[in-house]
Amino acid sequence: MPARGSTTFDLTGDLAFVTGSSRGIGRSIAEGLLRAGAHVVLHGRDEGRLERTRQQFADQYGKRRVHAIAFDITDEPSVRAGIASIETEIGPITVLVNNAGVQHRVPMLELSLEDWERVIRTDLTAAFLVGREVAKAMVARRRGKMINIASVQTDLARPSIGAYTAAKGGVRNLTRAMTAEWAADNIQVNALAPGYIHTEMTQALVDDDAFNSWILGRTPAHRWGTTEDLVGPAVWLASSGSDFVNGQVIFVDGGMTVVV
């Protein structure tokens, strides 16, 4: 592996694994890390979609720098095998972005245990599972960056997304727990908490006129975020520019969480 980039935000020499990067926020973050010089491993479950993203990025950034692997982050044996295969066949992971997640919108009185567990397992437990497997190798090498994707729901609740809110609240303290255990091994773990970002996950909300106007009124920046809005903060948290930033949740939300 080449030496690490010498300027603050240069990721040359890094290998970044971004979960859920076949589309949406993860895709933009992966592309941002590629633009900053890193090699990237793309990920998702749908192999067709993943391959299309890999091909587009390989055409643009060179096929040597773009890899892809499909596995379910909620399944422990698949996580173990997936991380082991990246480490042995592609290279040592220096940056992990725990991004993959799901939403489930239903009033809590109608929320089944099965859906509660599916959301908690995908949005919280999987960040622990993938983080633990990657950290084993990072701790041994005494170097690594982890970025957990949280949400404004890490701090704020809203009706109909109870399981998601509980999971994203958990991501804050998982980030702190990882910091407490791994910061001394030179692993910086932080979280990015996006506001309302226009992706497939939020398309139904963008299409809902009442919700859309509420978002515009509720967000001081008076707009939806774009996936590109996450790139600068992600590159910073992946780079040596954040080497003494530990356990923080950085809100990228147009100011939503600082006003009532």
Residues that bind ligand NDP (CB under 6 A): 20, 22-26, 44-46, 49, 72-74, 99-102, 122, 149, 151, 194, 196-197, 199-202
Nearer to ligand NDP, 196 or 236 (CB): 196
Closest CA to 45 of 24, 17, 73, 65: 73
State in angstroms the smallest separation of the CB of 133 from ligand NDP: 14
Nearer residue to ligand NDP within complex by CB, 149 or 249: 149
Sheet strands side by side (includes 95-98):
66-70, 39-44, 15-18, 95-98, 144-149, 187-194, 249-252
**What is the C-alpha R_g of the chain?**
18
Nearest distance, CB of residue 184 and ligand NDP, angstroms: 28
Q: Find all residues with CB under 8 Å of 172, minimum gap 6, and list them.
A: 150, 154, 155, 191, 249
CB 79, min distance to ligand NDP, A: 9
Please check whether residue 134 is in contact with residue 211, taking contact to mean a CB–CB distance below 8 angstroms: no
Tokens 């997640």, residue located: 101
Nearer to ligand NDP, 30 or 187 (CB): 30
Q: How many Å apart are CA 131 and CA 206, to the nearest integer?
A: 32
Given the complex with ligand NDP, which of 149 and 187 has the nearer CB atom? 149
Identified catalytic residue from 164, 182, 224, 236: 164
- If phi over 0 gives left and psi between -120 and 50 gives alpha, with beta otherwise, what is residue 67? beta
Active site residue 61: no
Rounded to the nearest whole angstrom, what is the least distance from the CB of residue 88 to ligand NDP in the complex? Answer: 20
Which of the 8 DSSP states describes residue 64?
G
Q: What's 124's DSSP letter?
A: I
Q: DSSP class of residue 5?
A: P
Q: Which residues pair with 259 in a beta bridge?
A: none
We find the least distance from the C-beta atom of residue 56 to ligand NDP, in angstroms, to be: 14
User: 199 or 248, CB closer to ligand NDP?
Assistant: 199
- For residue 192, the cross-strand partners are 149, 250
Annotated catalytic sites, by residue?
164
